[in-house]
Amino acid sequence: MQNETNGQEYAAETARSLGLQVAYAAAPFEAAAISKLLVYIDLLVLNEVEAAQLEIATGETVDALGIANVVVTLGAEGCKWVSNQGEKCFDAYTADAVDTTGAGDTFTGYLVAGLDRGMDMEAAIDLALKAGALMVTRRGTADVIPDLKEIQDHFGS
């Protein structure tokens, strides 16, 4: 879910009680909303500005929040994955960006979809970076999100 989702605390609590994992995209960022959910979140995805705002709001760095997996997107610089096993940075794929609207949502969607398909975190992040790189070469939002075949054709399997 993300911060425009209604009933976030109920949804997260229910998901946890059913044995589901909770993935949370912090956009649009609101410190009070995310602070209520920290105990339920298994995967937090946020951009570097939101990560800095969260650090100010909580007094904790993302690696000290107690969340199993945090992915901080860094735009054209790629992303950083912080887990209970350490930190790893991933470079972005080169793209001639014409419109970055929706890139974060595309990244997050592909990341979660990859994990749901059984990919490990590194493979899911790689897929999400490819999807985001292809997305920014197009004008528009939901109507231009690349499908998996387009990503595979563009980047190779």
> Would you list the DSSP string of 97-129?
-S--TTHHHHHHHHHHHHHHTT--HHHHHHHHH
Query: How large is the average pLDDT for residues 33-48?
Result: 94
**Alpha carbon distances (Å) from 43 to 26, 40, 107, 150:** 11, 9, 13, 26
At residue 112, does pLDDT exceed 80?
yes
**Alpha carbon distances (Å) from 105 to 61, 87, 102, 136:** 23, 22, 5, 11
Instruction: With cut-offs at 50, 70 and 90, classify the pLDDT of residue 3.
Output: confident
Active centre residues (catalytic): 105
**pTM for the structure as a whole:** 0.94
At residue 157, does pLDDT exceed 80?
no
Query: How large is the average pLDDT for residues 92-99?
Result: 95
Q: Are 139 and 98 in contact (CB under 8 A)?
A: yes
Residue 79 host element (H or E) = strand 79-83
Instruction: With cut-offs at 50, 70 and 90, classify the pLDDT of residue 26.
Output: confident
* pLDDT for res 82: 97
